[in-house]
Amino acid sequence: MHKQPGGHLLTWLDAMKAQSPPHFNSSTLHASDHDHTLESPQSCTYDMQLRESAAATAAYTAWKKQCPSAVRMFKKLMVEAKAKQVVVFLDYDGTLSPIVDDPDQAHMSDDMRAIVKEVATYFPTAIISGRARPKVYEFVQLAELYYAGSHGMDIMGPADATNGFKAKGTRVKDKMGNDVVLFQPASEYLPLMDEVCKILSESSKGVRGARVEHNRFCVTIHFRRVKEESWGALAEKVENVLKDYPTLNLTHGRKVLEIRPAIAWDKGKAVDFLLSSLGLADSSEVFPVYIGDDRTDEDAFKVLKDLKHGCGILVTSVPKETKASFSLRDPHEVMEFLLYLVRWKKQELDGVKNGSKTSPCI
């Protein structure tokens, strides 16, 4: 969503609310042992939450008929991927790690890190996040991956990557001393993003719970710890600052507003760039898989849908409008899917080694 006039503040806020699943009070929901004969306020709340929870479950079950589980449909997916080069693209927050109130605490588990490392052993693998690339790298700590931070505006890959990536990027060393290549299509915006982040950090101080995060090529304003009645005031502060910066755009995600350079670049463009760099663009012999949970991942889902091969997988526990073809409920199911993917590849390789032409079974 591009920057809008003041009348559209409510649209942003409504869209943010729609991006996050509802939460029910577990202490109330587990109070079924109590006598609810009398219509106390607590029993009324309990009954209402039960009805809302049941309705949400029914809606999600119905939605999955259009966007089925990628775990349950795994064998069908791998029939399409057979004899093709699988390429794996992963979002970070909400996909490899749970969504948490403090973005600095969004750590992935050791088990998730281990399975992602295995995935990268068998398939070209990239993490594409709205976070600053160095922050995502700090969380993941795997040098063999491609990293695209700031929604793809800051891409890093191993120095032994394909010639296409090296030709377009700059060779440097990362914090661990590894040789890497950087590609940054919005590098001229860095001073501007620094300036906007500083102004927003100062102007949002009066809103309790607000947090401004500098993600290098985008600035993220977190609403997760802000009381809902204060969302309008915080969004208005953001818009007031942005009025002076016509070369920047405003987008929304899960309880965040984000300011980005107004260039034709997004997660979908990052997928295109990485496939091209790997020499896999416009090829029916490639099977890209993109897994993400946020509306910003829709740009990547659209790219894969237009390719007519590969698949987009949305991570969500509630129904959402999406261009993805399949779904996973949460990071735990993401890990399960990635484990299946590794096992499938190992069995495929074993079959080739043993001269077997049978399809691997999971």
- Is there a domain that residue 210 lies in? no
- Is there a domain that residue 85 lies in? yes
Which stretch of DSSP H or E encloses residue 345? helix 331-353
List C-alpha distances in Å: 276 to 57, 171, 271, 351.
41, 18, 8, 30
- At 307 the pLDDT is 87
Q: Is the pTM of this model over 0.85?
A: no
- At 39 the pLDDT is 53
φ, ψ at 127 (rounded to 5°):
-110, 125
d(CA 294, CA 305): 17
Number of helical (H) and strand (E) elements in the chain, helices listed first: 12, 13
256-261 vs 219-222, strand pairing mode: antiparallel
123: nearest Cα among 156, 99, 145, 155: 145
Sheet holding 248-253, edge to edge: 211-214, 219-222, 256-261, 248-253
Length of the chain: 362
- Is there a domain that residue 89 lies in? yes
Handedness of CA 280, 283, 287, 288 (dihedral sign): positive
d(CA 345, CA 350): 9
- At 43 the pLDDT is 59
- At 4 the pLDDT is 43
- At 42 the pLDDT is 58
- Is there a domain that residue 86 lies in? yes
Which stretch of DSSP H or E encloses residue 78? helix 74-81
List C-alpha distances in Å: 109 to 30, 81, 112, 125, 331.
28, 28, 5, 18, 10
146-149 vs 211-214, strand pairing mode: unpaired
Known catalytic residues? 91
- Is there a domain that residue 247 lies in? no
- Give pLDDT tens digits for 105-159: 999 999 999 999 999 999 999 999 999 999 999 999 998 899 999 999 999 987 7
- Is there a domain that residue 238 lies in? no
- At 5 the pLDDT is 40
Range of the domain at 345: 74-143+152-161+265-352
- Is there a domain that residue 42 lies in? no
Residues of the chain with confidence (pLDDT) below 70? 1-52, 161-168, 352-362
d(CA 284, CA 83): 11
The number of folded domains in the chain is: 1
Answer for the pair 165, 275: CB distance below 8 angstroms, yes or no: no
CATH number, domain of 342, equals 3.40.50.1000
Task: Catalogue the long-range contacts made by 75-79 (C-beta closer than 8 Å, 24 or more residues apart).
Answer: 75/361, 75/362, 77/311, 77/326, 78/344, 78/359, 78/360, 78/362, 79/359
- At 38 the pLDDT is 46
- Is there a domain that residue 322 lies in? yes
